[in-house]
Chain A
Amino acid sequence: MRQLPVLFKRELASYFTTPLAYVFIVIFLVLSGVFTFYLGNFFESGQANLAPFFAFHPWLYLFLVPAIAMRLWAEERKSGTIELLMTLPVTRFEAVTGKFLAAWAFAGLALLLTFPMIITVNYLGEPDNGAIITGYIGSWLLAGAYLAIGSCMSALAKNQVIAFILAVSVCFLFIVSGFPMVLDGFSGWAPQWVIDAVASLSFLTRFDAISKGVIDLRDLLYFLTLIAAWLAATAVVIDLKKAD
């Protein structure tokens, strides 16, 4: 476990050696503002909460988070540095988790930079700041789940563009699995428990609850288990594909 912070530090620093990180943060901030104020009708709703802000995060992350995740492993494989990394005395767990945590910390930083939202809403009214904090936690967990999926897809593909497309597709499946159009496809023939299971996989229902300030232990567990499972899958995929 001693090497985890070392890997984390290197990975996080690598985001800031290129302008990409700054471009990403700017795009994220601009888009979250546009979504909140124009599409979310933040002012017109006349309510002192950040619901219009959080409501668009699942869709915003759908494209932005895979863009952070796509380079995690694809880049290592393409440049051959994976051979360097995997022959250093580090465990698979340290390598996979170190990289993931760095990406997650980076996403967290981008999210924290939306703090003017909190100031705005506090200036305009008297919001429930507890609910806002849970909203942020939920949003960060959601980003983590997307990142874990992206990490696995990045391990799967040597090409970053393919990793990006794969990650967007899988994340999209996890969003729409709670939608009627998907559930209808199951309702004709599948038993009820299958339909319930598919519906319970959806990011949206879980995230909606947390972003409204309701923290249910099951929702937290859902996100954390999902992250752990996709990271474990990442480790397996790396072992299978590293030599290609």
Chain B
Amino acid sequence: MIEISKLTKRFAQHTVVDDLSFRVERGEVLGFLGPNGAGKSTTMKMLTGFLAPTSGTASILGFDIQKDRLKAQRQIGYLPEGAPCYGDMTVRSFLEFITEVRGFRGAEKRQRVAKAVAQVELENVLEQSIETLSKGFKRRVGLAQAIVHDPRVLILDEPTDGLDPNQKHQVRKLIQSLSYDKIVIISTHILEEVSAVCTRAVVIAHGKLLADGTPLELESRSRYHQAVTLVAEEPLDVVALAALPGVIGVEENEREHSLSVLAKPGQVIFPQVNALIAQRGWRVKELNVERGRLDEVFRSLTRGEMV
């Protein structure tokens, strides 16, 4: 379990992380969301013992990151932002170095390096120096060094930033396959990632906690939650749709004859809309019930308009 309590970080007069408290349990994949400069990286740097908090505490599996720094750090695999590595080393010697620092020697060291290399598919570049690798490979080297000691806590700062869609998919699958029995915290500002891999999402802005829940719960805070979007071949009767019970409003979309019918919070409007279509005999090409739009929730949350 990771426990963060009243964590605060101030640089000069500027408060980057402001009285942040939450817990993460084993088996959870926590998505740490926020706009750039929200304090995500700073929080992670405090969690991993790189920065000392101005006030407040953080503990990793019961070890206080300030008082028991080394014990806490042994439990953590950490991918810092931008995946910094010693560029002049080869992939193999770099991973062996990290594994040795983690306390493994001889056959066990080689075995662990081989396993991590296989997990992130680095076999073909083992003898290349890291600075000659592409961005995607560098990121994978960073991931390999984070998982080489099979840590119980994995903290990844923007693990898919700058990767192409295939690589993103691969990294997400890797995180999912690793997450069993571990605590995983990933920071990101890519929202699809949260729906794809996280079991829980925490949104922060200006160092403050704004929302905390499953991705589904967050989506349900969207005004598009349970909205019905339809595309028809002829003009639709906006007034009739807006008058249906449970409907709070109707929005016109950019496409011709396309509308989004918004539901009141907590209401389901699909049956009513469907009945009206049948009754009027509209020729509807597309009909979607929306789960909610995370990006819209994110925008309204981080701009300070509470949903």
User: Which residues of chain A have a CB within 8 Å of any CB of chain B?
Assistant: 2-3, 6-7, 10, 13-14, 17-18, 79-81, 83-84, 86-91, 239, 242-243
Contact = CB atoms under 8 A, between A and B. Distances in A.
Contacts of B76: 87
Contacts of A3: 100-101, 103
A83 B73 contact: no
B87 interface: yes
B51 interface: yes
B50 A87 contact: yes
Contacts of A84: 78, 80, 84-85, 145
B49 interface: yes
B87 A88 contact: no
Nearest to B97: A10
Contacts of A13: 93
Interface string B66-85: 00001101101010111011
A242 B49 CA distance: 12
Interface residues of B, number: 30
Contacts, number: 67
Contacts of B93: 13
B43 interface: no
Given A87-B76, A88-B101, A18 B88 contact: yes
B45 interface: yes
B101 A14 contact: no
B287 interface: no
A79 B49 contact: no
Nearest to A239: B52
Given A80-B84, A242-B51, 7 more contacts: A3-B100, A3-B103, A80-B82, A87-B73, A89-B74, A89-B101, A90-B70
B12 to A, nearest CB: 12
Contacts of B73: 87-89
Nearest to A79: B84
17 contacts: A3-B103, A10-B97, A79-B86, A79-B87, A80-B81, A80-B84, A81-B84, A83-B84, A84-B80, A87-B48, A87-B49, A87-B50, A88-B98, A89-B101, A91-B70, A239-B52, A243-B51
A165 B50 CA distance: 28
B88 A14 contact: yes
Contacts of B71: 89
Contacts of B70: 89-91
A91 B145 CA distance: 19
B6 interface: no
B299 interface: no
B169 interface: no
